Amino acid sequence: MHFKDIVKKVEEIIPPECELAKVEPEGVAIAIYIKNIKAFYENDQIIKNLASGLKKKVIVKVDRSELMEEEKAKKKILEIVPPEAEIKNIYFVPEFCEVRIEAIKPGLVIGKRGALLKEIILQTHWSPVVLRAPIMASSILTGVRKSEVVEAAERKKFLTSIGKKICQPTPSSEWVRIVTLGGFREVGRSCLLVQTPNSRVLIDVGVNPATFESTKAYPYLNMLGFSLKDIDAVIISHGHMDHMGFLPYLFEYGYEGPVYCTPPTRELTVLLQQDYINLCHRAFNIDPPYSKKDVQKQLKHMITVGYEEVVDITPEIKMTFYNAGHILGSASVHLHIGEGAHNLVYTADIKFGFTRLFNPAHTKFPRLETLFIESTYGGKNDISINRFESEKRLIKIIKETVEKRGKVLIPAFAVGRSQELMLVIEEYSRRDPDFNVPVYIDGMVLEATAIHTAYPEYLREQLQRRILSDKSPFESPIFKVAKGTSKEEVVEPDEPAVIIAPSGMLTGGPSFEYLKLLADDPKNTLVFCGYQSALSLGSKIQRGMREVPIIGEDGRTKTLKINMRVETAEGFSGHSDRAQLMAYIKNVKPTPDRVFTMHGDWNKTEDFARSISSAIKREARALQNLEAVRLK
């Protein structure tokens, strides 16, 4: 629907007594500003008519001319909301006529069936946006939320321009094609172009974190066939570097459009990208492909969308995110192209099995013709051990090391695996009161964990309840923050300890620094609990390398001897194993017409594709990078 037709429709629906002031597109939503909010709330039928008439996300706000003065409004809000809500911050954003209320207990700000929110807008005329404050300090979360306020004027212009581009008549989708730009028959640098005669959309723009060789580290954006400025939208499935690590590069070289992701993905993306820049400078002495200024520019263009919320991202493409079960906020992407011309699902990384953090990946979609599915563990022999046995094995390794008064180093991805391992160890400490070994959390693990506590609605229900009832397992006294503490202070005492530190593949970062300090002592243990890329140092040690070349403080190469015990505790991966992938395929509804495997080593994507074809009697193929396939 063209924007002028939307305005006309709104004018027909809004009664004169509501005093319609203006209608504006704000990204994926239509913002309707009125002067008499009381009249609006007195007629329940208005919002229903708007939803059915526009078939778009609608936000109704009070016009700026009617807003209460900020100090008076703040005082009124504090009178309305009970102190038990523990309000931490109140930000006024006049550009959007919104007041953002950050509280430890947002449910008490909302009130029963939204009663307090309604009271706030009726009395102050500011539209309340409620945010959950993390129960642990997070500089990233604070920075992202403040930037939305500071950059509000610029962001308002951006969202209005994007909204107007989206609000156009739906063009005819004569053809749909995809181009594989990274992450096919390999793990890393995931990137897929979805193209029609009218739309150009990228799904994921990752790096291969295990290498800095340009021909292997970055997507083939030079093969797009058009300028980065001509991309209509970028979709990020989740906050891992191999899916979003190259995104700021687009903004450095001319992209000015929107980036769609879930709210937690936005924060995790900024966290990991900034760390990547620091890692390039500090650990590898190389120039990263972009700067922190590009990360900040990217942040201004990010539009967050929740699970199962249908939004228009171009005049002919509707997008919906579904839970992928992989990490916090991870999403499988459903695209509805044209008036039903084609429907595809890009699973991204999925977990279709038990974890302590998340529900299994979503499998029911409204329509589906083409499925792109990850194959990280798609090989026929990639069968993980039972999760219960995995946890028993990890605890056994920790106990054996502790009995020798050694230290356990677990290199883990800061996002997802670290929190999963924390939950396993925390539960064991509650079952065994004699287990009083400190568990040190280092690097980005602390920030990532804080972000988890700000978004409990993306976690399993049982874990949600613990966080919401002030019994968060992440605040257990067994966890010690190594931030600000030198690694020698953690390592040198002749006391047992567990250390969880990134990077998960030992490619630099705190885990590598701890390895250098712990490797010589056979009392210590190195435990791998996650995927190790074939090019990574972790993979080499896991496969048996016991003499590792490293760069010394004098800049010369020297040998690090691995005398410590090396173990692998399988079953903690955020990826599905072969059995879970096959179960996912059989549970996907409707059954897709064709399946393409991706995000896996060459032989695994091939083997998985053959098995899919045999299981569901549909075309299944392992695409290579730089293939173009017409879907319609």
Mean pLDDT computed over every residue of the chain? 93
Domain with CATH 3.60.15.10 in the chain: 168-381+575-630
Integer CA distances (angstroms), 347 to 351, 547, 575, in order: 10, 39, 11
Q: What are phi and psi of 382, to 5 degrees?
A: -85, 60
CA 13 to chain centre: 38
In 3D, which of 519, 514, 499 has the Cα closest to residue 564? 519
pLDDT at 283: 67
Mean pLDDT over 200-219 rounds to: 91
**Residue appearing with tokens 């008036």:** 339
pLDDT digits (tens, 9 = 90+) for 25-74: 999 999 999 999 999 999 989 999 998 898 889 999 999 999 999 999 99
CA dist., res. 166 & res. 169, Å (int): 9
H or E segment to which residue 372 belongs: strand 370-374
Are the C-beta atoms of residues 70 and 76 closer than 8 Å to each other?
no
SS (H, E, C) 52-105: HHHCCEEEEEECHHHCCCHHHHHHHHHHHCCHHHCEEEEEEEHHHCEEEEEECC
Residue 632 pLDDT greater than 70, yes or no: yes
pLDDT digits (tens, 9 = 90+) for 102-116: 999 999 999 999 999
Q: Is the link from the previous residue into 171 a cis peptide, with omega within 30 of 0?
A: no
CA dist., res. 354 & res. 376, Å (int): 17
Mean pLDDT over 4-26 rounds to: 95
Query: Of 87-96, 271-280, 422-431, 527-536, which gets the smallest average pLDDT?
Result: 527-536
Residue with more model confidence, 105 or 508? 105
Neighbours of 383 (CB within 10 A): 12
pLDDT at 485: 67
Proportion of the chain above pLDDT 70, given as a percent: 99
SS3 506: coil
Pick the CATH number of 399-568 from 3.40.50.10890, 3.90.1150.10, 3.30.9.10, 1.25.40.10: 3.40.50.10890
Q: How many residues does the chain have?
A: 632
484 band by pLDDT with thresholds 50, 70 and 90: low
For the structural domain made of 74-133, what CATH number should be given? 3.30.300.20
Domain with CATH 3.30.300.230 in the chain: 1-66+146-167
**Residue appearing with tokens 């931490």:** 88
Residue 423 pLDDT greater than 90, yes or no: yes
Cα distance between the two ends of the chain? 24
CA dist., res. 596 & res. 599, Å (int): 10
pLDDT at 137: 83
Q: Which fold has domain 1-66+146-167?
A: GMP Synthetase; Chain A, domain 3 (3.30.300)
DSSP letter at 320? E
Mean pLDDT over 388-409 rounds to: 95
pLDDT digits (tens, 9 = 90+) for 119-155: 999 999 999 999 999 988 889 999 999 999 999 999 9
For 4, counting Cβ atoms within 10 Å of its Cβ (0-12 exposed, 13-18 middle, 19+ buried), the class is exposed
User: pTM of the entire structure?
Assistant: 0.93
For the structural domain made of 168-381+575-630, what CATH number should be given? 3.60.15.10
Contacts of 203 (CB under 8 A, 6+ apart): 191, 192, 194, 234, 235, 237, 333, 346
pLDDT at 535: 74
Proportion of the chain above pLDDT 90, given as a percent: 80
Mean pLDDT over 587-614 rounds to: 97
For 496, counting Cβ atoms within 10 Å of its Cβ (0-12 exposed, 13-18 middle, 19+ buried), the class is buried
CA dist., res. 418 & res. 101, Å (int): 30
